[in-house]
């Protein structure tokens, strides 16, 4: 069922990246590759450093050491806003939308780098700005169709329910026509049905757009189901990496998760 | 935009993003333009003066709305940026004989430059500290202007300028200035509405709603935060230029902190983030101000024991400030929101729960 991934085609390479906040080492010497056409899941207990790692890829955190290479180009230090035009799309843990804007405008803002209007042209609007708006609106409508959001396109995002907001988040990331998609817990807090929809969307994106996806997710069932490869983080260390069936039976992984469960038991 | 009369649907994306969409809206819009155009023929001259000042204020407040409401960058110095425009226009007109159609845009650029400079810290500081930065602009402005060589900006005495001229015609009467100022106001409003539905407008709103994510979407925060101040104070500068030609005398004291605070109040009353709100808020507070000014002397005659005119003016500030506070408490979304609710209930009438 799952296709074999060509390990020759690396999209993104993380090489010995470490990150600390003050004295706390959050990511410890982490290296991994993302190959074209795969869904790589990163899992690990709460506080393992998954989001921090993604933030290094987005440029929001600067690693203390190590290199991040994307399509052969080192991107470790380039400014955050320039990474969008390289084709790095990202969705966020929790709700990180533009709540005061409509669904359409949220998604259109994902096309910022693909559009050209400057503020003087924006003042006048006609005719070329208008044409540009329409052309990009058509692409956005395709995304709206794809994610089945036709009914809410004019709603203010702040008025939507949680599941739909996460869908807007994905739509906005897709709008910038990413060449790699980074998703941080797209299904957290969703009900069964919403999760199934989201899983279907993720599989479709990988299949039809054939872009690699880095997925951070806590729902093991989904992760085991849709990933080509899984990497496990614990206290900032990579403790395992491999196919879903290998990870399921990996003793170190089981220990990390059980250890976490123990802690939770102690807490309550 | 989502609220339209029953049965109006978009058949294509052009219609979907247009501001004026139904025949009734077109009729209202054209009727409004006609009234504005015919104004001088039936408004008494006192009324014309009020409309002119309101038009100038609308430009400044719409600019402030772009900085504060659209982009979320607090600005307590809009009046100083307006002053910068006024003095730029005045000095170019008085000392270099520049015609008004050059000196007013130049005033806009003067305002925009000052605004952009004081907007640069917005990349690093937010909220309270940004408020302090713009407050610094407001405090420094009169010192800066009055200390400059008096040839430039007239020193402490201010600067007078000759009336605007076009061809052989002098724009000196209230009627002719009315057309100039209303014309510019309409153009600036047209620009502002267009801005909100463009790529740039969306980037500004994205910065307001979540600047970190905006950056990940590729929005350069430095560029856009500075731009928010530059555009906002471009509007202030144009307003200042018109002010200079209307009063034909500019002094640093005309552009004080009070005005800056009033402009913010107008945004609050009208609705933060909405261009229409900026217009409604300005008209509402200005009308209220005029009403109190008219009622004042009458009040003084009926209750002479209540105190003289001075008391009256401080009373006026209390009333207007109170109105702003009431809006903050009871209608924080402002008049623009009220207007939308009204339109909505009109649309779905007679089914109130649609
Ligand atoms: N900006 C920051 N400053 C200080 N500490 C931080 C910062 N961001 C994250 N941390 C710490 O780094 C560690 C890893 O956090 P991170 O958010 O990356 O975990 P995570 O794996 O995404 O967890 P979760 O599954 O709960 O989302 C945590 O201990 C967290 O407190
Ligand atoms: Mg996380």
Q: CB count, 10 Å around CB of B325?
A: 12
Q: CB count, 10 Å around CB of A265?
A: 8
**Domains of chain B (ranges, CATH numbers):** 41-348 (1.10.3470)
Beta strand extents in chain B (DSSP E only) = 159-160, 164-166, 169-171, 249-250
pLDDT above 70: residue A1 = no
CB contact under 8 A, A113 and B216: no
> What is the model's pLDDT at position A208?
87
> What is the model's pLDDT at position A263?
46
Rg of chain A over all Cα atoms, to the nearest angstrom: 19
Lowest mean pLDDT among A255-259, B20-24, B179-183: A255-259
* Average pLDDT estimate for B68-96: 96
> What is the model's pLDDT at position A266?
40
% chain B with pLDDT above 90? 57
pLDDT digits (tens, 9 = 90+) for A37-66: 899 999 999 999 999 999 999 999 999 999
For chain B, give the mean pLDDT.
89
Q: Which residue out of A50, A54, A94, A218 has the highest number of ligand 1 atoms within 8 Å of its CB and is therefore the one to mutate? A: A50
Half-sphere exposure of B194 (CA within 13 A, CB side): 20
Q: What spacing in Å lies between the alpha carbon of B333 and ligand 1's midpoint?
A: 36
**How close A257 gets to chain B, by Cα (Å)?**
31
* Average pLDDT estimate for B118-147: 91
| Separation of alpha carbons B316 and B329, rounded Å | 20
Q: Identify which of A196-210, B131-145, B219-233 has the greatest average pLDDT.
A: B219-233
Structure tokens belonging to residue A268: 């309550």
A–B CB contacts, 8 A cutoff, strictly below: 113
CB contact under 8 A, B216 and A81: yes
**Domains of chain A (ranges, CATH numbers):** 1-87+178-268 (3.40.50.300), 98-175 (no CATH)
Chain B residue numbers with beta carbons less than 8 Å from the beta carbon of A155 are: 2
> What is the model's pLDDT at position A255?
84
Structure tokens belonging to residue B350: 């007679």
* ipTM rounded to 2 decimals: 0.90
Q: CB count, 10 Å around CB of B331?
A: 14
pLDDT above 70: residue A221 = yes
Decide: A244 in ligand 1 pocket, CB within 6 A: no
Decide: A236 in ligand 1 pocket, CB within 6 A: no
* Average pLDDT estimate for B191-216: 96
> What is the model's pLDDT at position B229?
97
Residues B135, B76: contact at Cβ < 8 Å?
yes
């Amino acid at each position: 069922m799952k296709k074999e991934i060509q390990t020759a085609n690396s999209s993104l390479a993380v090489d010995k990246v470490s990150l600390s906040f003050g004295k706390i080492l959050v990511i410890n010497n982490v290296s991994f590759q993302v190959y074209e056409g795969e869904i790589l899941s990163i899992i690990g207990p709460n506080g393992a450093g998954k989001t921090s790692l993604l933030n290094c890829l987005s440029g929001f955190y600067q690693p203390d050491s190590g290199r991040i290479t994307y399509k052969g180009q080192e991107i470790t230090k380039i400014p955050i806003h320039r990474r969008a035009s390289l084709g790095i799309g990202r969705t966020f843990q929790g709700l990180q939308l533009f709540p005061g804007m409509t669904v359409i405008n949220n998604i259109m803002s994902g096309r910022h780098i693909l559009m050209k209007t400057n503020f003087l042209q924006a003042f006048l609007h006609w005719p070329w700005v208008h044409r540009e708006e329409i052309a990009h609106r058509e692409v956005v409508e395709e995304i709206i169709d794809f994610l089945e959001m036709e009914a809410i396109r004019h709603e203010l995002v702040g008025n939507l329910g949680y599941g739909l907001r996460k869908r807007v988040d994905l739509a906005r990331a897709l709008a910038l026509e990413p060449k790699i998609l980074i998703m941080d817990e797209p299904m957290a807090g969703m009900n069964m049905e919403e999760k199934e929809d989201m899983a279907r969307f993720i599989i479709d994106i990988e299949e039809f757009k054939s872009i690699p996806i880095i997925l951070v997710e806590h729902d093991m069932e989904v992760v085991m189901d849709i990933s080509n490869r899984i990497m496990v983080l614990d206290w900032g260390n990579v403790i395992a990496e491999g196919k879903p069936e290998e990870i399921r039976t990996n003793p170190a992984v089981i220990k990390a998760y059980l250890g976490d469960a123990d802690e939770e038991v102690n807490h309550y | 935009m989502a609220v339209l009369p029953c049965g109006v649907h978009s058949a294509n994306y052009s219609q979907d993003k247009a501001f004026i969409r139904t025949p009734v809206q077109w009729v209202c819009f054209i009727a409004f333009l006609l009234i504005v155009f015919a104004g001088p023929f039936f408004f008494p001259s006192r009324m014309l003066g009020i409309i002119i000042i309101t038009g100038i204020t609308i430009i400044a407040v719409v600019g402030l709305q772009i900085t504060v409401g659209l982009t979320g960058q607090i600005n307590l110095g809009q009046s100083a940026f307006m002053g910068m425009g006024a003095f730029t226009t005045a000095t170019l007109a008085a000392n270099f004989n520049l015609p008004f159609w050059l000196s007013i845009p130049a005033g806009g650029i003067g305002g925009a430059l000052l605004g952009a400079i004081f907007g640069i810290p917005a990349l690093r500081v937010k909220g309270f500290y940004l408020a302090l930065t713009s407050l610094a602009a407001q405090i420094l402005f009169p010192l800066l202007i009055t200390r400059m060589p008096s040839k430039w900006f007239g020193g402490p005495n201010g600067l007078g300028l000759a009336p605007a001229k076009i061809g052989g015609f002098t724009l000196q009467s209230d009627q002719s200035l009315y057309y100039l100022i209303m014309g510019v106001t309409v153009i600036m409003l047209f620009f502002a509405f267009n801005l909100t539905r463009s790529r740039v407008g969306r980037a500004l709103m994205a910065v307001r709603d979540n600047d970190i994510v905006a950056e990940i979407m590729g929005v350069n925060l430095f560029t856009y935060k500075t731009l928010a101040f530059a555009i906002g104070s471009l509007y202030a500068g144009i307003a200042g230029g018109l002010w200079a030609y209307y009063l034909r005398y500019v002094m640093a004291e005309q552009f004080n902190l009070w005005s800056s605070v009033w402009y913010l109040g107008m945004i609050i009353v009208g609705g933060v983030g909405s261009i229409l709100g900026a217009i409604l808020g300005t008209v509402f507070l200005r009308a209220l101000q005029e009403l109190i000014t008219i009622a004042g002397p009458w009040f003084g005659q009926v209750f002479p024991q209540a105190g003289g005119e001075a008391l009256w003016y401080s009373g006026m500030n209390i009333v207007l400030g109170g109105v702003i506070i009431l809006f903050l408490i009871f209608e924080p979304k402002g008049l623009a929101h009220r207007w939308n609710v009204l339109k909505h209930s009109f649309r779905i009438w007679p089914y109130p729960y649609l």
